[in-house]
Amino acid sequence: MWHLLSLLGLVQLFNSHATAIDVDITNDASVKEAAATIAYGAVKFYTGNNTGDVPGNLPDPYYWWQAGAMFGALLDYWAFTGDDSYNEITYQAMWHQRGDDYDYMPTNQTRALGNDDQGFWALASMSAAELNFQNPPEGEPGWLGLTQAIFNEYVQRWNEASDSCNGGLRWQIYTFNNGYTYKNSISNGCFFNIAARLARFTGNTTYADWATKIFEWQQGVGFINDEWTVRDGAGVAEGANCTEINGALFTYNAGIFLHGAAYMYNFTESDTWKTRVQGMVDSVSKTMFQGGIMWEPPCETTSGSCNNDQRTFKGLLSRWMAATAKLAPFTYDQVMGLLQSTAKAAAQHCVGSPSNFKGHPGTACTFSWFADSTYEETSGVGEQLNAMSVIMTMLVDSAMSPFTSNTGGTSAGHVDGGVSDDSKLDKPREITNADRAGAGILTTLIIGSLLGAVVFLVKD
């Protein structure tokens, strides 16, 4: 049966070439139309606004963090294209998932939550503040306040013990989750990114000091190396102390630090941050592109081995590169050149009509954008958001710039938001299907353990 279905999928894929997305990247109307078509297919996967479903959750097999990433992408979609078609579902989801303590640790997700899972919702709430998105009701903490709460919780979790790498966030928040003994770039990248953006938005230098501290800690342990390349992380159990680095190069790790560094450059206008931004752009161009096309180095092969999580990363790097071009205009030509060639390639790969796709027929995108990549038989949220994101960056010149509280940003703050992690654990909770699927980023990591053995770490 499976073979029959996949055969049908393939036949459909080949039959539908005529309806491929035809985009002229120099024509704004054409880019908007292409982005809208692909966005439509992405949002069709979302069921959280259906009667009886939970706003903010994506259906199986997607995780809670990916929903956060999706709403962040839809906010940027609005900022780049001006199309507000998805603002209502975005508001509904982002407000519903805020959690009792206004910190994106809703009770249903808390026990399975990693720092990065919470972080992807923080990135979205920071974007909502910067874009002057519809504010929550008067008197409630706004998008700024939600982000500040997460910042404060990250500060509490930062651990400077000398046998625990002198600092850094662990991947997981709670000891009972696999991954608690791993410190990684994406968790610290979420912290760095919101610290940099809170600094620029509020002008409060405490945030900037933290951004500098996190970046320099990453360099100190070698998670950012001398070539400005961002590596995945390292274990801290049993004396490992970040010595055995997992050198996998994922696009989102590079992107989250590049983007935060561009904010720090924009805020400080310093040569130090200029050098860091330029170094990271050079590294990204060397490691994350082949023949001018973005790829996911650890897992993008012709047999398609990137997992569900990893298939969401390239869209993030795309959006973060475009924002870098805006905030650090000295990178514009280099960054936009890479995005242009990638956008053209991505559009050529939105030709499918697989059976799990409910968007317009012939517009499902493949994960890989290389010329010879036609191997895929399924579509997904990540694949659609990736293509949508890189194509919409062609509108960077007319896209909204992020506001600050001095230039019209109206989001309400909550400078002392956030509570202790322990205070959450005794709360009663209902077990839901969404819970069973789990909240966490399931990225299968290959971590060299203390003994040099290879351990596959899968969080359940």
Ligand X SMILES: *[C@@H]1O[C@H](CO)[C@@H](O)[C@H](O)[C@H]1NC(C)=O
Is the peptide bond prior to 354 cis by the omega test (within 30 degrees of 0)? no
Residues 6+ away with beta carbon under 8 Å from 77:
35, 39, 83, 86, 388, 392
Minimum CB distance to ligand X smaller for 144 or for 317: 144
Look up residue 332 and give its amino acid.
Answer: Y
Q: Alpha-carbon distance 351 to 81, whole Å?
A: 22
The 91-110 contact track toward ligand X, x by CB under 6 A, reads: -----xx--------x-x--
Could you give the dihedral angle defined by the CA atoms of residues 421, 427, 432 and 435, in that order, rounded to the nearest 10 degrees?
10
- Pick the stretch among 21-29, 162-170, 280-288, 363-371 that binds ligand X (CB under 6 A): 162-170
Residues 6+ away with beta carbon under 8 Å from 394:
25, 26, 28, 31, 339, 340, 343
**Least distance to ligand X, CB of residue 261, Å:** 13
The 207-246 contact track toward ligand X, x by CB under 6 A, reads: -------------xx-------------------xx----
Residue among 160, 163, 333, 397 that touches ligand X (CB under 6 A): 163
Strands (E), 123-241: 182-184, 233-235
**Least distance to ligand X, CB of residue 413, Å:** 8
SS3 of 80-144: HHCCCCCHHHHHHHHHHCCCCCCCCCCHHHHCCCEHHHHHHHHHHHHHHHHCCCCCCCCCCCCHH
**Least distance to ligand X, CB of residue 435, Å:** 8
Task: Restricting to residues 378-437, name those near ligand X by CB under 6 A.
Answer: 401, 415, 430, 432
Minimum CB distance to ligand X smaller for 135 or for 206: 206
Q: How is residue 233 written in tokens?
A: 């992380």
Task: Restricting to residues 330-349, name those near ligand X by CB under 6 A.
Answer: none
- Are the C-beta atoms of 283 and 228 separated by less than 8 Å? yes
Task: Restricting to residues 262-291, name those near ligand X by CB under 6 A.
Answer: 266, 269
- Pick the stretch among 89-97, 119-127, 172-180, 276-284 that binds ligand X (CB under 6 A): 89-97
Minimum CB distance to ligand X smaller for 305 or for 401: 401
Q: Which residues on neighbouring strands pair with residue 457, listed in sequence order?
A: 445
The 52-81 contact track toward ligand X, x by CB under 6 A, reads: --x-x-------------------------
Size of the site for ligand X (CB under 6 A): 31
Which residue in 45, 65, 183, 175 sits closest to 121, CA to CA?
65
Phi-psi label, residue 233: left if phi above 0, alpha if psi -120 to 50, beta otherwise: left
**Least distance to ligand X, CB of residue 311, Å:** 22
The CA distances from residue 336 to 229, 341, 402, in Å, are: 20, 9, 18
**Least distance to ligand X, CB of residue 56, Å:** 6
**Least distance to ligand X, CB of residue 42, Å:** 10
Q: Is 162 in the site for ligand X (CB under 6 A)?
A: yes
Q: Alpha-carbon distance 379 to 90, whole Å?
A: 22
Minimum CB distance to ligand X smaller for 56 or for 298: 56
Q: Alpha-carbon distance 233 to 240, whole Å?
A: 12
- Residue with structure tokens 């896209």? 399
DSSP state of 53: S
Task: Restricting to residues 189-208, name those near ligand X by CB under 6 A.
Answer: 204, 206
**Least distance to ligand X, CB of residue 253, Å:** 18
- Pick the stretch among 161-169, 340-348, 383-391, 392-400 that binds ligand X (CB under 6 A): 161-169
Q: Is 363 in the site for ligand X (CB under 6 A)?
A: no
- Pick the stretch among 123-131, 322-330, 390-398, 440-448 that binds ligand X (CB under 6 A): 322-330
Q: Is 326 in the site for ligand X (CB under 6 A)?
A: yes
Whats the size of the chain, residue-wise? 460
Residue among 61, 82, 329, 337 that touches ligand X (CB under 6 A): 329
Residues 6+ away with beta carbon under 8 Å from 2:
none
Name the site residues for ligand X (rule: CB under 6 A). 43, 49-50, 54, 56, 86, 89, 96-97, 106, 108, 162-163, 165-166, 204, 206, 220-221, 241-242, 266, 269, 326-329, 401, 415, 430, 432
